[in-house]
Structures are given as C-alpha cells and as structure tokens.
C-alpha cells in the first residue's frame, strides 16, 4: 500500500496542509522545528489511530484550536481508499471511506507504517520498555486479537496494582485480577513468542547481508512463561506465588509487561556489550525485518517513515536500505538536502516544509 495524499487541518503546526505524494520516494526537507516530524506523525497516525509521540490525542490539536482533522487517501490492491480522523477535545472519530468506525480496532489492518527515527537506532541499547513497545506496535497493527488482549491486560494490571497499593487488599480480589492477567497474558506471550521467532529468522538474514556475513545476530524472547506448555496456568501460579512480594513492592513484578527481547551478536549480549556500530546495524536489521514480516503476514508493503535517520547511517547502510526497499513507499525527512543521496534515487518528489506550510520543489539542480 502507499499514500496518495494527505490533508491536515489544525494538526500541530499545520493550519492546513494538502499534499500529493510519490508512490515510491518522498523527501521532506526543512529546518528544525518547521513541521517535518509532525507530518510523519500524521502519516503514522493513520495506521494505529495513535501518535508515536504522545498518548494524548488532544496534544495533536493546533494551539488555540479546538479540533483537528487528518485525512489520507491510500492505495491498496489498486483501490483508492480514504481514512479520516477528527479529534475534538478528548473525542476522536475515524471514518473509512466515509463510514464511521465504531471501535478503535476497526481501523487496524488498513494502513501499515513502520517508523524509523534516531530514537529507534537506540533500540538495542535502550531499556526493555522500548523493545516491548516495538513488539507491541507491530503486533497491534497486524493482529486485532493482540490489540484487544493487550488493552485488556493493561486495564487488569492497573486494577491489580491499585489493589496492591491499598493498606489491606482483599486477596480474593487480587486473585480475580490474576485470572484476568493470566488469561490475556497468555495470548500476549504466545503471539510475542511466534513474532520474535520469525523476526529472528528475517533479521538475522538481513544482518548477515548488511555485514557481509561478518556478524551473526540472534534474537530471543525473554519471558517468565514463554517455554511453558500452559502459559496461562504458569503465569497464574507465578502471580499467586508472588503476592507477598508484589504487596511489598506495591506493584506487579512479573508478567509480559516486564518481558524483553534478547539480542546477541556473535553470542554476546549486544544490549550491554555491543559497539555503537553493531547496535545500529542490529537496529536497522530489525526495522527492515519489520517490513518483511508485515508483508509476509498481510501481503502488503508497509510505508516506511524515515524521520531524520538516513543521514545518521553511513553510505553503505544507506545504499543497502534503498536497494532493499525499492518497492516500498518511503518518506525521508532531513534538515538538509543531500546531493549524494538524491543521486541514488531514480525518482522522487521533494518537499520543503517551512513553519507549517509545505511546498514542492520541482527544479532540482
């Protein structure tokens, strides 16, 4: 799939924006704080109905405005479709081809995006939470069952943690939440396990190509229950067993909300001991693997949003990325236009963003 156009009204610093895109490469340049990432954020919003920068939709509304609209036209299987959102205050409405969607999960499986920003280059080194968020985003986008299990799990976790903060919690009530957590948690664990297994296969192959066989990447799922036959029973038992400990800590210390992805390069934990170069290459392998997995799972090419990241990669990695992704729609933001980069791309559209306005550059000298 690819985006044909985007229309914004009162979104962040765009009072109004109308843009038509190239089906392959779109380069978005502009100085700092002009609105490049805001544009990327709007495109990303189409795939999950959420931002990657904030949990609060109201932050997306332009200052001093009371609503905002985002509309995209995308092409999927040769058909044009529209997806639009209106956010006013805390309320959000989504329409697909003009028909109002009743549940947030209805908008999944329409638009697929993968974002790659300098933040993601740190995914190998960062704390486990970042890696969990990476898996969650991916699985939520591809799998509505996962999306629902995760939101129920989060609600149950909040309830259990609230109880643990009480002076004398009702243990029976905690057990009720243990059951809910075990039930939803097992669904999450099973899906994460199979996702990471496939991610491992694909990303280790890519890593092999990027490093020309010099490094071996290996991903594993680190969870308390992953290997059990009955994850639900085991997780329930762990929650019950940890009651006193959790009470002391006043929080739920075990479960999928504490999982991690183990990342090894040549048998060494790359999260701790990898060099910066190794960690960045592994991050690139992971991101490219994401696109492959979405394609395997859904038959669709995701749109890759490269926010300020291409200039962070050396020319070899840049070339690898562009070559691997020749069939994928790319949005590339950069503060500066790089002649050596443009030379590598056969066809593209070039946009300049200035203080919340977009204009296309036709005469590229």
Residue among 34, 178, 223, 278 that touches ligand ADP (CB under 6 A): 34
- The total number of residues shown for the chain amounts to 365
151-154-155-160 Cα dihedral, nearest 10 degrees: 160
* Binding-residue total with Mg ion (CB under 5 A): 2
Identify the CA nearest to 328 among candidates 107, 6, 105, 21.
21
Distance CA 304, CA 88 (A): 28
* Cα dist from 144 to 136, 150, 195, 299, whole Å: 11, 10, 14, 16
- Scanning 11-19, 28-36, 120-128, 136-144 for contacts with Mg ion by CB under 5 A, the matching segment is 28-36
Q: Which residue is nearest to Mg ion (CB)?
A: 37
Q: Contact between 37 and Mg ion (CB under 5 A)?
A: yes
Asked whether position 13 contacts Mg ion by CB under 5 A, the answer is no
Task: Return the number of the residue (214 or 337) whose C-beta is nearest ligand ADP.
Answer: 337
Between 14 and 236, CB nearer to ligand ADP: 14
- For position 32 contacting ligand ADP by CB under 6 A, the verdict is yes
Give the x-and-dash track for 199-238 against ligand ADP (CB under 6 A).
Answer: ----------------------------------------
Question: What is the nearest approach in angstroms of ligand ADP to the Cβ of residue 18?
Answer: 17
63 binds, among ligand ADP, Mg ion, none (CB under 5 to 8 A by kind): ligand ADP
Question: Judged by CB under 6 A, does residue 117 bind ligand ADP?
Answer: no
Tell me which stretch binds Mg ion (CB under 5 A): 18-26, 36-44, 65-73, 253-261. Answer: 36-44
Q: Rule CB under 6 A: is residue 90 a binding residue for ligand ADP?
A: no
Tell the smallest beta-carbon distance from residue 299 to Mg ion (Å). Answer: 32
Residue 351 binding ligand ADP, by CB under 6 A:
no
Q: Which of 12, 22, 137, 280 binds ligand ADP (CB under 6 A)?
A: 12
Asked if 340 contacts 311 with a C-beta cutoff of 8 angstroms, the reply is: no
Binding partner at 49 among Mg ion, ligand ADP, none, C-beta below 5 to 8 Å by kind: none
Q: Quick check: 310 binds ligand ADP (CB under 6 A)?
A: no
Site for ligand ADP contains 36 (CB under 6 A): yes
Count the residues of the shown chain that bind ligand ADP, applying the rule CB under 6 A.
14
Is 57 or 307 the residue whose CB approaches Mg ion more closely? Answer: 307
**Binds ligand ADP (CB under 6 A): choice among 7, 19, 30, 305:** 30
Tell me if 8 contacts ligand ADP by CB under 6 A: no
Q: Which stretch binds Mg ion (CB under 5 A): 37-45, 63-71, 125-133, 152-160?
A: 37-45
Binding track over 40-69 against ligand ADP, x by CB under 6 A: -------------------x-xxx------
Q: How far apart are CA 339 and CA 341, in angstroms?
A: 5
Min CB(333)–ligand ADP separation in Å: 7
Min separation Cβ 358 and ligand ADP, Å:
11
What is the three-state SS of the chain?
A: CEEEEEEEEEECCEEEEEEECCCCEEEEECCCCCCHHHHHHHHHHHHHCCCCCCCCHHHHECCCCCEEEEEEEEEECCEEEEEEEEEECCEEEEEECCEECCCHHHHCCCCCEEEECHHHHCCCCCCHHHHHHHHHHHHHHHCHHHHHHHHHHHHHHHHHHHHHCCCCCCHHHHHHHHHHHHHHHHHHHHHHHHHHHHHHHHHHHHHHHHCCCCCCEEEEEECCCCCCCCHHHHHHHHHHHCHHHHHHHCCCCCCHHHCEEEEEECCEEHHHHCCHHHHHHHHHHHHHHHHHHHHHHHCCCCEEEEECCHHHCCHHHHHHHHHHCCCCCEEEEECCCCHHHHHHCCCEEEEEEECCEEEEECCCC
Residues that bind Mg ion (CB under 5 A): 36-37
Residues that bind ligand ADP (CB under 6 A): 12-13, 30, 32-38, 59, 61-63
């Amino acid at each position: 799939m690819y985006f044909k156009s985007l229309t914004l009204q009162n979104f962040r610093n765009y009072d109004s924006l109308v843009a038509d895109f190239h089906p392959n490469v779109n380069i978005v340049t502009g100085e700092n704080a002009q609105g490049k990432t805001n544009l990327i954020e709007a495109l990303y919003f189409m795939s999950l109905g959420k931002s990657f920068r904030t949990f609060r939709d109201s932050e997306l509304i332009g200052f001093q405005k009371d609503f905002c609209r985002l509309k995209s036209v995308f092409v999927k299987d040769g058909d044009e479709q529209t997806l639009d959102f209106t956010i006013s205050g805390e309320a959000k409405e989504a329409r697909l081809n003009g028909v109002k969607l009743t549940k947030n999960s209805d908008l999944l499986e329409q638009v697929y995006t993968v974002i790659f920003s300098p933040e993601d280059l740190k995914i190998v080194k960062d704390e486990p939470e970042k890696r969990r968020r990476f898996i969650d985003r991916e699985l939520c986008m591809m799998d509505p069952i996962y999306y629902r299990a995760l939101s129920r799990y989060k609600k149950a976790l909040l309830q259990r943690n609230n109880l643990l903060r009480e002076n004398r919690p009702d243990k029976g009530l905690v057990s009720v939440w243990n059951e809910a957590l075990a039930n939803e948690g097992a669904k999450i664990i099973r899906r994460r396990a199979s996702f990471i297994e496939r991610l491992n296969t694909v990303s280790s192959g890519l890593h092999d190509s990027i490093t020309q066989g010099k490094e071996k990447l290996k991903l594993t799922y680190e969870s308390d229950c992953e290997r059990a036959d009955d994850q639900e029973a085991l997780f329930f038992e762990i929650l019950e067993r940890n009651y006193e400990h959790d009470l002391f800590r006043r929080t739920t210390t075990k479960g999928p909300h504490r999982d991690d992805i183990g990342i090894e390069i040549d048998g060494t934990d790359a999260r701790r001991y990898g060099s910066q170069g190794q960690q960045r290459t592994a991050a690139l392998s992971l991101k490219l693997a994401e696109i492959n997995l979405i394609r395997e799972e859904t038959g669709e090419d995701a749109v890759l949003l490269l926010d300020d990241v291409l200039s962070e990669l050396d020319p070899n990695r840049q070339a690898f990325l562009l070559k691997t992704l020749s069939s994928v729609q790319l949005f590339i933001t950069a503060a500066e236009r790089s002649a050596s980069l443009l030379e590598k791309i056969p066809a593209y559209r070039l946009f300049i963003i200035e203080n919340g306005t977009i204009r296309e550059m036709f005469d590229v000298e």
